[in-house]
């Protein structure tokens, strides 16, 4: 398989991560990175109120159309007070630390600036303002070829180019998921602005003294509920499919309820799955995540995207088993995206450069089948929460380490080093919800915290190896 021309779709963290490994292979005649925004960094480019939807209807299925700008803006889901929920020392790219002066949990502006600096050497390869419309497999074996069609958003010209391989790294914050609930669309149309998705949330002030339901209680749901709960009427209502424990901070101002089963405009009633009812609700904020959605791959058969719950035909969550010159980067959930994308990128770059081989299609499909048996057909298939993410990162390090050496590459011919999580990284990864919670307790002073030790977390002091722990 001789690959000379590689397209990378997306210049956010995952696209930048994989592009650096592709560049480090010193093999490809052309590497082209397509980015629909006017600067690299993906969703970390805060857009404020520009381009957001102030009202939302049910979105139970993935979109069939590429994301379009609204008044020239691809709205970012970044809200005003967003800061990372991952400590900077774990979140960062392996070879590129965050500035020492930045907070342990950096604000979104710090992350944006960090990504802009990281992207500097890649700028000659990035085509900004390029909206991908279609990616098709135009020629199959023995030498596959992909046709990429995109719109230049500055000239509005439709352009076409061929590539030997395509790496999709456009993220999964483009297609909001809002469940289909009886009466939801009618409620949203009758009370414009009363229902939004978290992608349109920016600040809590508009919820002051309002009765609010926050639907969903994962990372964004917890953070947004904390912000709204400081100004809204109490109790703030938190609705979730599977009940989780509220933090002491939330328990003081919030009430946990099951999922919403009905919205009735006639009598202003919100009914929940257990029969509980609420009236006079002012706002409902859906922190329900996003579809797995890649509209520009809709012509691909068999399809990677079906119902938007999880990807299909992806070997090791990366290579399209039917034609592995197509790879996806950074799509699993509950991961640490920056080092995760590097681990995948290192492996992809070595394979596309011909220094590593993949198993047969049958073997790749067998791996997928085994993963389904272990993790199920639903959302669990695509969820790599700790310790799965740590094991996965290290397994890709091991795969990458078997690549053929090549003169002229860094690391004594082995190529750009992938991330590896040792005991300290695993220790930190397991504890970062507790670390974040300890930071939040400090309120406005949390920005002064620069290191784990400032919060009382000390690996050298607290780590106990498994073998010793069992004694």
| Domain at 184-286: CATH architecture | 3-Layer(bba) Sandwich (3.50)
Interval 223-238: pLDDT, tens: 999 999 999 999 999 9
Beta strand segments in 68-206, E: 126-127, 130-139, 145-152, 157-163, 165-168, 195-197
- The pLDDT value recorded for residue 466 is 63
| In the chain, where the domains are located | 5-175+294-421, 184-286
The side-by-side arrangement of strands in the sheet containing 260-264 is 260-264, 269-272, 277-279
pLDDT digits (tens, 9 = 90+) for 8-54: 999 999 999 999 999 999 999 999 999 999 999 999 999 999 989 88
Q: What are phi and psi of 224, to 5 degrees?
A: -65, -40
Contact 87, 19 (CB under 8 A): no
**What CA–CA distances, in Å, run from 179 to 231, 236, 271, 285, 411?**
27, 21, 15, 12, 49
Core vs surface per residue 295-316: b (16+ CB within 10 A) or e:
bbbbebeeebbeebbbbbbbbb
State the DSSP H helix or E strand holding residue 256, giving kind and residue range, or none if neither: strand 254-257
pLDDT for 66 equals 86
Residue ranges in the chain modelled with pLDDT below 70: 1, 466-471
Average pLDDT over the chain reads 94
- Write the pLDDT tens digit of every residue in 239-272: 998 888 888 888 899 999 999 999 999 998 999 9
Q: Is 218 exposed, middle or buried (0-12, 13-18, 19+ CB in 10 A)?
A: middle
- How far, in Å, CA of 319 to CA of 421, rounded? 23
Rounded CA-CA distance 10/26 in Å is 21
Beta bridge partners of 162: 147
The architecture (CATH level 2) of 5-175+294-421 comes to 3-Layer(bba) Sandwich (3.50)
CA distance 453 to 428: 12
5-175+294-421 and 184-286 in the same fold: yes
pLDDT of residue 109: 98
Half-sphere exposure of 282 (CA within 13 A, CB side): 12
């Amino acid at each position: 398989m001789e690959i000379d021309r590689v397209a990378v779709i997306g210049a956010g963290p995952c696209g930048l991560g994989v592009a650096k490994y592709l560049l480090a292979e010193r093999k490809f005649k052309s590497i082209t990175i397509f980015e629909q925004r006017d600067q690299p960094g993906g969703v970390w480019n805060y857009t404020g109120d520009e381009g957001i939807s102030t009202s939302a209807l049910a979105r139970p299925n993935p979109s069939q159309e590429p994301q379009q700008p609204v008044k020239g803006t691809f709205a970012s889901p970044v809200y005003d007070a967003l800061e990372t929920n991952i400590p900077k020392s774990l979140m960062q790219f392996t070879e590129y630390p965050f500035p020492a002066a930045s907070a342990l949990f950096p604000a979104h502006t710090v992350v944006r600036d960090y990504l802009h600096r990281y992207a500097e050497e890649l700028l000659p390869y990035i085509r900004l303002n390029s909206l991908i419309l279609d990616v098709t497999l135009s020629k199959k074996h023995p030498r596959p070829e992909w046709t990429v069609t995109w719109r230049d958003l500055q000239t509005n010209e439709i352009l076409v180019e061929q590539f030997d391989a395509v790496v999709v790294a456009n993220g999964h914050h483009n297609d909001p998921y809002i469940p289909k609930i009886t009466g939801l669309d009618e409620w949203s149309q009758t009370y414009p602005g009363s229902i939004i998705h978290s992608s349109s949330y920016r600040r809590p002030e508009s919820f002051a003294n309002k009765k609010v339901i926050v639907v969903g209680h994962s990372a964004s749901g917890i953070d947004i509920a904390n912000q709204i709960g400081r100004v809204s009427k109490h109790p703030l209502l938190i609705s979730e499919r599977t009940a989780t424990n509220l933090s002491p901070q939330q328990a003081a101002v919030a009430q946990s309820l099951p999922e919403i089963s009905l919205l009735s405009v006639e009598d202003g009633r919100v009914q929940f799955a257990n029969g509980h009812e609420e009236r006079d609700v002012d706002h409902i904020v859906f922190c329900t995540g996003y579809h797995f959605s890649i509209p520009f791959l809709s012509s691909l058969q068999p399809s990677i995207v079906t119902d938007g719950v999880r990807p299909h035909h992806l070997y090791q969550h990366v290579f399209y088993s039917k034609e592995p010159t197509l790879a996806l980067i950074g799509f699993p959930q509950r991961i640490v995206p920056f080092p995760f994308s590097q681990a995948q990128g290192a492996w992809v770059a070595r394979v596309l450069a011909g220094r590593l081989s993949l198993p047969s299609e049958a073997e790749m499909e067998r791996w997928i089948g085994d993963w389904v048996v272990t993790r199920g057909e639903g959302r669990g298939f695509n969820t790599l929460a700790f310790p799965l993410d740590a094991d996965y990162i290290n397994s890709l390090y091991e795969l990458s380490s078997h690549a053929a050496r090549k003169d002229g590459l860094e690391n004594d011919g082995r190529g750009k080093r992938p991330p590896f999580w040792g005991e300290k990284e695993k220790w930190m990864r397991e504890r970062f919800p507790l670390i974040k919670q300890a930071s939040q307790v400090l309120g406005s002073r949390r920005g002064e915290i620069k290191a784990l030790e400032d919060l009382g977390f000390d690996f050298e002091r607290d780590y106990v190896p498994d073998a010793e722990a069992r004694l």
